[in-house]
């Protein structure tokens, strides 16, 4: 078990409780065969989204909902989101048995937002896949971030960045790499 401070534990517990209040688990939600329920909570907009995603296929209605939900919250700009990101989230939840809420820290980023962030941090890539709708920064309420990172790395489905101090994982659909 990782060493975690009392303060970090209390913050994480409060975030998980808030996520469950805002976006309760979908255990009672009837599922259609082949469709996977995904529940999202955006940590900056405090919006919630529930979808039924069919891995390998992304309907126009799901694409419209997810691109609006994962919009650049700083500018309001929307951009198509790579359906492989949803497939990856389904696979992670399937492999781990997670049914937690997927907390979004960052989804799509407009070029101007990315440039602004790059000037404030050395950890923002100039050609970030966030600008192509191919990346998300997340945590999942019922899954420690180290386990989320390890699972994503084992799947080798794209880039995996682990930010332990900030308690989130970057996932993208680019080439496989870990940092």
15-43 confidence digits (pLDDT tens): 766 665 556 554 444 455 689 999 999 99
Confidence class for position 148, pLDDT limits 50, 70, 90: very high
- How remote is the C-alpha of 50 from its chain's centroid? 13
Which helix (H) or strand (E) covers residue 14, if one does? helix 6-22
**What contacts 24+ positions apart, CB below 8 Å, involve 159-164?**
159/129, 159/135, 163/137
Decide if pLDDT at 122 tops 80: no
Q: Is the pLDDT of residue 11 over 90?
A: no
Q: Which long-range contacts (CB under 8 A, 24 or more apart) does 124-130 make?
A: 129/159, 129/172, 129/173, 129/174, 130/106, 130/172
What's the whole-number mean pLDDT along residues 87-116?
96
Q: For residue 5, name the pLDDT band (cuts at 50, 70, 90).
A: confident
Q: Provide the CATH topology of domain 36-178.
A: Muramoyl-pentapeptide Carboxypeptidase; domain 2 (3.30.1380)
Which pLDDT score is estimated for 27? 45
């Amino acid at each position: 078990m990782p060493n975690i401070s009392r303060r970090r534990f209390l913050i994480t517990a409060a975030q998980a409780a808030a996520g469950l209040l805002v976006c309760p688990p979908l255990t009672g939600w009837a599922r259609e065969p082949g469709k996977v329920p995904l529940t999202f909570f955006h940590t900056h907009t405090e919006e919630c989204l529930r979808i039924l995603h069919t891995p390998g296929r992304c309907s126009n209605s799901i694409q419209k909902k997810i691109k609006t939900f994962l919009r650049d919250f700083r500018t309001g700009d929307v951009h198509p989101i790579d359906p492989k990101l949803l497939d990856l989230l389904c696979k992670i939840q399937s492999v781990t048995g997670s049914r937690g809420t997927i907390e979004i820290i960052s989804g799509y980023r407009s070029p101007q937002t990315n440039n602004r962030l790059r000037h404030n941090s050395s950890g923002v890539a100039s050609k970030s896949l966030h600008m192509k709708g191919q990346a998300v920064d997340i945590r999942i309420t019922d899954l420690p971030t180290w386990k989320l990172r390890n699972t994503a790395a084992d799947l080798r489905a794209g880039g995996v960045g682990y930010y332990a101090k900030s308690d989130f994982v970057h996932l993208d659909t680019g080439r496989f790499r870990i940092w």
